[in-house]
Amino acid sequence: MRRAFIVARRSKASDTSPNPRVGCVMVKGGRIIAEGAHRRFGGAHAEPMALHRARERARGATAYLTMEPCSPFKGKKTPSCAETLAARGIKKVVCASLDPNPKVAGRGVAILRRAGITVELAENWTAEAEKLNRGFFSLMRRGRPWVILKTALSLDGKAASASGKSRWVTGPNARAEVHRLRAQVDAILVGAGTVLADDPALTAHGAGKNPLRVVLAGRRALPKKARVFDSAAPTVVYKPKGSAGLRAVLKELSKRGVGTLLVEGGPTVHAAFLRAGLIDEAKVFLSPKLLSGADDPNTAPRLKSPKIGVYGDDWLIDGVVS
Ligand code: AOF
Ligand code: ZN
């Protein structure tokens, strides 16, 4: 099963989205005979990819799957994997999770069992299977994306200098990680305040596919020349009212197939999402700078070679200021 997850992770979440990443490893006589992964949305599923490589050796083999094989349903783009596995003489199937898609949800397992195949649910792998496809599980179970709050703060908790400058709080390595993060999510959201103050491009800057860009409009007009409106990726603008409005935005994004959403801020937008209970995960970048009272983040005082101490769930970050 560990191998099936490695194989699944070779696909990029942004390539299969809103479909899940799935890995399949076929074993016979204690040896791996074939592997396969779902590579892109609308393309072959993990199971036929592995079956193709296994050829006639598939008969009598055990298939390890990160998710239950699919059953037939209306509007499907590919043949049903449960039926295909049965037709090819697979003897046993071990899956890390069921398929949360209500159109499948156990029907795949039922098809296998009816065909006389032994099916095992590897419960110790289920949490890992959900982690592999946060967006897909969230869309299928809650009808809304998995929402990640991202922020970059100075050590004294500021997102910008006293004069309002936010370029740059964190260094180039942290920023490169943000670009990689953007390439992994389906959409990225900011408030109008961030567009007006920072004029961010909100692209992956070459780290991968650019996500859909989402701007929450306020009272102030958004400049047509803002970088978020360039041709690098599509951009949508919403004007939500209150937490019901935010939920409606998430519903709209789900309909567009957005499984994972990165909320980059600013603080007003973060607060609104948090108040509405709509944040699932947070990524907080901390810089060793002290921005309180600083005009320019690039010349602000900072800790030199800081040490981190861990006290329960708290940290002490200690260093000489230079
Ligand atoms: C599998 N193996 O590798 C994946 C599965 O439109 P389709 O035919 O691509 O079907 C999409 C659905 O299939 C998707 O919503 C999910 O329920 C399941 N994904 N199933 O057996 C795979 N990617
Ligand atoms: Zn399938």
Q: For residue 101, which atom of ligand 1 is closest to its CA?
A: 17
Q: How confident is the model at residue 219 (pLDDT cuts 50, 70, 90)?
A: confident
CA dihedral (81, 2, 17, 186) in degrees, to 10, reads 170
Cα distances (angstroms) measured from residue 90 to each of 44, 85, 95, 309: 18, 6, 14, 52
Cα distances (angstroms) measured from residue 21 to each of 127, 129, 131, 154: 15, 9, 11, 36
Tokens of 96: 């890390």
**Reduced to 3 states, what is the DSSP secondary structure of residue 317?**
strand
Closest ligand to Cα 7: 1
Q: How far is the CA of 21 from the centre of ligand 1 (A)?
A: 9
CA dihedral (202, 207, 210, 214) positive or negative? negative
Q: What is the spatial distance between Cα 106 and Cα 120, in angstroms, rounded to a whole number?
A: 12
Active site residue 47: yes
Mean confidence (pLDDT) of the chain: 96
In percent, the amount of the chain with pLDDT more than 70 equals 100
Q: What is the spatial distance between Cα 51 and Cα 88, in angstroms, rounded to a whole number?
A: 8
Q: How high is the pLDDT of residue 289?
A: 96
DSSP state of 302: B
Per residue in 176-197, pLDDT tens? 999 999 999 999 999 999 999 8
Q: Which CATH architecture has domain 143-321?
A: 3-Layer(aba) Sandwich (3.40)
Mean pLDDT, to the nearest integer, of 12-35?
A: 97
Q: How far is the CA of 183 from the centre of ligand 1 (A)?
A: 22
Catalytic residue chosen out of the listed positions 35, 47, 68, 264: 47
Describe the strand order of the beta sheet including 281-287 as a list of residue ranges. Answer: 235-238, 212-216, 187-191, 260-265, 146-154, 281-287
- For a pocket test of ligand 1, which of 45, 52, 130 has the largest count of ligand atoms closer than 8 A to its C-beta? 45
The domain segmentation of the chain, as residue ranges, is: 2-137, 143-321
**Reduced to 3 states, what is the DSSP secondary structure of residue 18?**
coil
Per residue in 138-160, pLDDT tens? 999 999 999 999 999 999 999 99
Q: Does domain 2-137 have CATH number 3.30.413.10?
A: no
Q: How far is the CA of 82 from the centre of ligand 1 (A)?
A: 11
Tell me the DSSP string of 179-214.
HHHHHHSSEEEEEHHHHHHH----S-TTSSPPPEEE
Per residue in 84-130, pLDDT tens? 999 999 999 999 999 999 999 999 999 999 999 999 999 999 999 99
- Cross-strand partners of 287: 154
Do 2-137 and 143-321 show the same overall fold? no
Per residue in 275-311, pLDDT tens? 999 999 999 999 999 999 999 999 999 999 999 999 9
Residue of 234, 305, 246, 301 lying closest to 272 (CA atoms): 246
Q: For residue 78, which atom of ligand 1 is closest to its CA?
A: 8
